[in-house]
Amino acid sequence: MTTKNTFTTKSSNITVPLPLFIPVYRPDYSFELFSEDSRKYGLSAVMVNAFLLFRERRLKAAFEQGHTLRNHIGGFDGMLCTDSGAFQQLSGRKVGVDPLEIVKFQNMIKTDIAAPLDLITPPDTGFDETRRRMIISQYRIAEALEVCDYSDLAGIQQGGGFFSLRQKHIRQLAGIGIKYYGIGSMVPFFNKNHDLSFTCGVIRDARSVIGEGAPMHVYGAGDPLDIAFMFFAGANIFDSSSYAHYAQRGYYMTPYGAVNKRSACERLGFECACPVCRDNEPAGIFDIIPGEPLRKLHNLFLILETVRALGEFSGNTRIEEYVSVVYDRHIENIDLFPGSMLASSWEKYLKGDKSDKEAETGKAMRFIDPDTEGGGDDFCCFGQFRDKTGIPSIEKPSLPHLKGLDADNCGREPKTIELSEIEQEAIEVLAAESAVVYKMDRSVIAALLAEELTAPKNTRFRSRINGAESIKEAQRLSEYKTFRKNMRAVLYQKLRQYKEPDLSANELLAGFVECAGSDIASTVDSLLRTHVSTRERMPDREEFARTVHGFIKPGDAVIDVGCGFAPLLWPAGFFENLSCYIAVDKDAEATETVRVFAKKCGITNLKAFTWDINSGLPELNRLTGIDRYDIALMLKLIPVVSRADQASGGAAGATSILGDFPAARLLATVNRESMTKRESIEKRELSVLKQFIRAFDFSIEAGFSGGSETGYCIVKKLTQQSNIW
């Protein structure tokens, strides 16, 4: 199918030629990127990682004052694309970026093409999880579309290795008015091994849906060989930092595949006419292969030139000729490209194969290794799929037999833990012991213990207990006692993470996005039951809600600080007659869930924002547009924040923000029972709260007691009124 040969952005009416290659921008490489030669070779767009700018507070403030992305990168007048940093968001840490905020940010800094915070799908992801990621991504894209008034939003297709999901998603995207299409999470399917059948099949299908006018961007495609085949299949925009990381690894790109030896280049008979290779005459290209900076530049020029040439072939049979020349040259010299699957995969593509890319694990389908190929965070925004270490595995660990466990869920290769009989016995005993103390399932504890046991530091312990005659004898060993002691710290830490390791947050959110009508209530229920901190409130849910509600007056502007999933606990009438209910949490997963809840239930005065207390009140104000509240709910919050302050060196930064919070009254509660241990902590927690009340000159207006929580409704002492705000 022929495609259009230009694309005009809605933002500033920049027109770029199609097909188009968008190199990833690196500050240390901007001079070369924006050189006259690059422009001559058709550089007309760059890709910038917006997340890296977003997380730099000072820079973010400058952007809020009117600094723009274009100024920031030196006034480049081409098309600016940004990436949302989806992979950083998935690094497994709880402090994530808010999917809506990162899009608003891109729109604010005036990028031409903004990216949603879609959920990347690693290639070994199963069907159900892939489907959930697609549902959540689609929801986020639809939400993002509403806030992009300057930028075009890239509607990025997900669907992993499942053709049917890919088909479904591209049709959904077409249905919501996307103007700029992206193909996401595709790199592992073609990277380096030229396994193009699935990717090109997906591209062909997408093109048949979106029509010939629309731009279609394959995120992360940067090998000139792959680009030619993908263009042939129907894609017309490509971005990558391949030019740099190929060069780093010693590779010199040719249209027929990248090589790292002079002899290989000679065999292919490729003579490059780019300024780098030309200026290095008479020694020619072969002398520049060992030099990384020049190799990098050559690679960039070659990709740009390939894309320019493809544009000339567009719409006539010469594109077929071009592709077949590339194909033949590659295949004739296939020994230069070990692992290449071009022949078999292209044959499959031409046959119209629409089979799924089976969820394979292992080397052939692996993600790009950031150490060897992608560099660090500052290196680039390598599209949708760079960070092998940053993708949490969300499949449930198979607990009972301790195999394939990946308790840290940090996306490492799942480890198979093989334990001897005595090791298993020791783990069972320790798990049973700990389950009495900690609020955690025994099998979960056992799985965590097994992983801990196999850590290198426990090698000696393992050999000692394996030398023991019985479990009794093992238990007498000093190493056993040390392990037992250290284990507590590990378990405590795990429990502090608030969520049990056997949940899939995506499962909940996707279920929520999908539910409708009468399902909403039951989905909310199951959602709440899975959240440790919220679940404690479930048995007394109604009483608890009534008690909290008793402190709120009609017309109040309410803020729920550290909301978690609490807003979902409140019954339907709770929000009625309130001027607003602002829910804030540093956990973007929680705030997004609250937002989905509000939308599903049609509660228009419930708004949720991702806010970290440490980022301060001006930031809160910026997010909400509200500067004063009638009541601030700080449910189970103050002791947690106070301890976090202490842990970070004693400065009461966050605590004092709560102490001077712009609200007439605070409803502050603490837990009666430990969240992690089965013991009462009421006295200790209340004393922290009372200390807070004294330190910030509050007086107690009323006591609070509801469910598993206790606390006070507090107001600033009258003499201090002038300091409240």
The least distance separating Zn ion from the CB of residue 313, rounded to whole angstroms, comes to 20
Cα(228)–Cα(439) distance, integer angstroms: 56
Q: If you ran DSSP here, which 8-state letter would residue 438 be given? A: B
C-beta of 214 vs 277, nearer to Zn ion: 277
- Residue position matching structure tokens 């298993």: 424
Q: Residue 37 CB, nearest distance to Zn ion (Å)?
A: 11
Quote the least distance from Cβ 393 to Zn ion, whole Å: 41
Nearer to Zn ion, 139 or 301 (CB): 301
- Say which residues have a Cβ less than 8 Å from residue 389's Cβ, sequence separation at least 6: 91, 370, 410, 411, 412
Rounded to the nearest whole angstrom, what is the least distance from the CB of residue 96 to Zn ion in the complex? 42
Q: String of b and e for 231-257 (b: at least 16 CB within 10 Å)?
A: bbbbbbbbbbbbbbbbbbeebbbbbbb
CB of 298 to Zn ion, least distance (A): 4
* Helix (H/G/I), strand (E/B), else coil: 282: coil
Q: Supply the minimum distance, in Å, between the C-beta of residue 278 and Zn ion.
A: 7
Are 37 and 275 contacting, i.e. CB atoms less than 8 angstroms apart? Answer: yes
Assess contact for 309 and 41: CB atoms under 8 A.
no
Q: Which residues bind Zn ion (CB under 5 A)?
A: 272, 274, 276-277, 298
Q: How far is the CB of 301 from Zn ion (least distance, A)?
A: 6
Q: HEC string of 138-183?
A: HHHHHHHHHHCCCCEEEEEECCCCCHHHHHHHHHHHHHCCCCEEEE
Q: What is the DSSP letter of 396?
A: P
Closest CB to Zn ion among 144 and 276? 276
Least distance between Zn ion and beta carbon 305 (Å): 8
Nearest-10 crossing angle of helices 99-108, 588-601: 90
| Terminal Cα distance for the chain, rounded | 64
**Residue 254 Cβ vs Zn ion, minimum distance, rounded to whole Å:** 9
CB closer to Zn ion out of 298 and 330:
298
* Dihedral angle of Cα 458, 459, 460, 464, to the nearest 10 degrees: 100
Q: Are 612 and 95 in contact (CB under 8 A)?
A: yes
Secondary structure string (H, E, C) spanning 627-651: CCEEEEEECCCHHHHHHHHHHCCCC
Separation between Cα atoms, residue 273 and residue 275, nearest integer Å: 7
Both tokens of residue 156? 């990025």
Which residue, 69 or 272, has its beta carbon nearer to Zn ion?
272
Residues 239 and 222: their CA atoms lie apart, in Å, by 6
For Zn ion, the closer of residues 113 and 277 by Cβ is: 277
CB nearer Zn ion, residue 38 or residue 193: 38
The alpha-carbon radius of gyration of the chain (Å, integer) is 28
Q: Toward Zn ion, which CB reaches closer, 206 or 277? A: 277
If the CB atoms of residues 277 and 666 are measured against Zn ion, the closer one turns out to be 277
Burial class for 392, CB neighbours closer than 10 Å (0-12, 13-18, 19+): buried
Least distance from C-beta 250 to Zn ion, angstroms? 15
Q: Cβ 275 to Zn ion, closest distance in Å?
A: 8
- Output the smallest distance, CB 25 to Zn ion, in A: 21
Nearer to Zn ion, 175 or 269 (CB): 269
- State in angstroms the smallest separation of the CB of 388 from Zn ion: 31
Based on CB atoms, which residue is closest to Zn ion, 298 or 665? 298
Of 272 and 326, which has the nearer Cβ to Zn ion? 272
The residue (of 81 and 277) whose beta carbon lies closer to Zn ion is 277
What does the buried/exposed string (b/e) look like for 459-488 if buried means 16 or more CB atoms within 10 Å of the residue's CB? eebbebbeebeebeebeeeeebeebbeebe
On whether the CB atoms of residues 302 and 274 are closer than 8 A, the answer is yes
CB of 279 to Zn ion, least distance (A): 10
Place of tokens 């639809």: 142
State in angstroms the smallest separation of the CB of 280 from Zn ion: 9
Query: Strand 45-49 vs strand 698-706: parallel, antiparallel, or unpaired?
Result: unpaired
- 246 neighbors 373 (Cβ within 8 angstroms): no
Contacts of 324 (CB under 8 A, 6+ apart): none
How far apart are alpha carbons 221 and 242 in whole angstroms? 8
Q: Which is nearer to Zn ion, 243 or 712 (CB)?
A: 243
In 3D space, the residue among 499, 487, 491 whose CA is nearest the CA of residue 394 turns out to be 499
How many Cα atoms are found within 13 Å in the side-chain-facing hemisphere of 278?
6
Please report how close the Cβ of residue 255 comes to Zn ion at its closest, in angstroms: 11
Q: Which is nearer to Zn ion, 37 or 660 (CB)?
A: 37
The owner of tokens 């990682």 is 49
Residues 6+ apart with CB under 8 A from 250: 260, 289, 292, 295
| Between 300 and 568, CB nearer to Zn ion | 300
